[in-house]
Chain A
Amino acid sequence: MYLYLYDSFLNDKKYSSLLAKIETRLTDLGIGGKIFRLSPLRNVSELINDEARAGAQTIVVVGNDKTFTQIINLAAKIDITIGIIPVGPDNKIATALGINSPENGCAVLASRTIEKIDLGKANGTYFLSSLTLSPGNVTIECEDQFKITPPPQQQISICNLKPATANGFGTTSYFNPKDGLLEILIQPLTPLVRGLGQLFRRSNSQNHSIIPFKKIAIRSRGSISILTDGQRILKTPVEIEIAPKKLKIIVGKDRIF
């Protein structure tokens, strides 16, 4: 049984014809199901747990990265398959999973290729894509064996999927959510001459560091913000570990892993 979760931004009139199209397509493909519209007043956790108990085997998120990362944290805790139909802007995760349009999302759901992928876990919060640290003095304790001290003015990310800024790594062995590892990516911030609004941009030069790991702890002198999947903010100290094969997810053939 399929459970479709519509993000609250889809209540906007401009999405009504697209949603109607998606619903028709899903019915045609024989994968229609219950539809729930998310709202700040609705307890999503309770809803998902109730539906899972009632026999729902697949949750399909209709929305963007924000909706998806919100649901991941709940779906990771129960044995349920998760899918996505990308609608609206900010759909990098769906693209990484090989789903590039709402129509394609319906087709991918119907073909039902399921992969068990790793998630990262930071202080109990699951993340699929990456964590981004605000610049500052941090030390990273890896595997209780060694300590990394990056220079303060560097962009530090903890990645499970390949970040948009990570070009020029040549090899495909990094950023694979099926390898049982996360990667620390340290890249310099270089000044950009153009525009004050973009004072810094990330460099893709050879000056990067990349360290695969299973468990780390990030500590800092003062409190530093860490953004999980571009959504939730955590504060240091943070303990991060891999949660191998934690999420059953429906993927397209153009996925990046």
Chain B
Amino acid sequence: MFKKEDGNEVETVIGPSVQVEGNFVANGDVIIEGIVSGSIKTEKNLHIGAEAKIFADVYAANAVIAGEVQGNIKVKDGLELTNTAKIFGDIKAQVLTINAGAVLHGKCDSGDERKSKLEKIEEREKNKAKETAQPMAEKIK
């Protein structure tokens, strides 16, 4: 939950049948097998077990979700939804893996690539000509 003074992160484990309410913030890895309501935030890895029930917005660097999450999920790097995962909320992750059988009710936003613009062939050639003309003009100068 906290960064230790010697630099090693500690793992926080919320076991089954334990209930947590409020803003749960951690710097180390977190494993949740119980019930959490409010919000969950960790700068490291998050594992939500198959029996876990989360009524919270979730933020983590990496996450593997096997349980039920009612809330929005924002993951900095990789998010994996296993075949038992049930998500009722929006997802945002850099790399998203959804296994067959996972339930997802919400918007899904993955990767940071910008969508390509539809250009007409004439415009594209004009743009290309402009791009090649500019270095030539600079050379002449």
Interface residues of A (CB under 8 A from B): 145-151, 154, 171, 173-174, 176, 178-181, 186, 206-214
CA distance A181 to B9 in the complex (A): 11
Are A145 and B24 in contact, with the CB atoms below 8 A?
A: yes
The residue that B18 contacts in the complex, of A145, A150, A173, A214, with Cβ under 8 A, is A150
Chain B residues at the A interface, C-beta cutoff of 8 Å:
1-2, 4-6, 8-25, 28, 34, 38
17 more A-B contacts (CB under 8 A) besides A146-B23, A180-B4, A209-B18?
A145-B24, A145-B25, A151-B17, A173-B4, A173-B10, A174-B10, A178-B5, A178-B6, A180-B5, A181-B1, A186-B15, A206-B15, A208-B13, A210-B13, A212-B10, A213-B2, A214-B2
Given A173-B8, A211-B14, A212-B10; A146-B38 close (CB under 8 Å): yes
Cα of A211 to Cα of B1 in the assembled complex, Å: 7
Q: Which residues of B contact A146 (CB under 8 A)?
A: 20-24, 38
Q: List 19 A-B contacts (CB under 8 A).
A: A145-B25, A148-B19, A148-B20, A149-B18, A149-B20, A150-B19, A179-B6, A180-B2, A206-B15, A207-B16, A207-B17, A208-B15, A209-B34, A210-B11, A210-B13, A211-B14, A212-B10, A213-B1, A214-B2
Interchain nearest-CB distance for A158 vs B (Å): 14
A176 to B25, CA, bound (A): 21
Q: Which of B4, B20, B38 contacts A179 (CB 8 A)?
A: B4
Overall SS of chain A's interface: loop
Q: Which A residues lie within 8 Å of B14 (CB)?
A: 209, 211
Cross-chain contact A147 with B9 (CB below 8 angstroms): no
Tell me the minimal C-beta distance from A149 to chain B in angstroms. Answer: 4
| Cross-chain contact A209 with B13 (CB below 8 angstroms) | yes
Contact (Cβ within 8 A) A179 B13: no
Bound Cα distance from A149 to B8, whole angstroms:
28
Task: Chain B residues near A212: list those with CB within 8 A.
Answer: 1-2, 10, 12, 28
Q: Are A209 and B15 in contact (CB under 8 A)?
A: yes
User: Closest Cβ of chain A: how far from B71's Cβ, in Å?
Assistant: 15
Give the CA-CA distance A19 to B4 in the complex, in Å: 41
Residues from chain A with a CB closer than 8 A to the CB of B17 are 150-151, 154, 207
Residues of A within 8 A of B8 (CB): 173, 179
B10 to chain A, nearest CB (A): 5
Bound CA–CA A211/B4 (angstroms) = 13
Kindly list chain A residues whose C-beta atoms are within 8 Å of the C-beta of B16.
207
> In the bound complex, what is the Cα–Cα distance between A173 and B24 (angstroms)?
20
- Minimum Cβ distance to chain A for residue B40 (Å): 10
Which residues from chain A contact B25 at a C-beta distance below 8 Å?
145
A180–B38 alpha-carbon span in the complex (Å): 27
Instruction: Give, as a whole number of angstroms, the nearest-CB distance from A150 to chain B.
Output: 5
**6 nearest interchain CB pairs?**
A146-B22, A209-B15, A179-B4, A149-B19, A212-B1, A147-B21
Smallest beta-carbon distance A247→chain B, Å:
16
List chain B residues, Cβ under 8 A from A176.
4
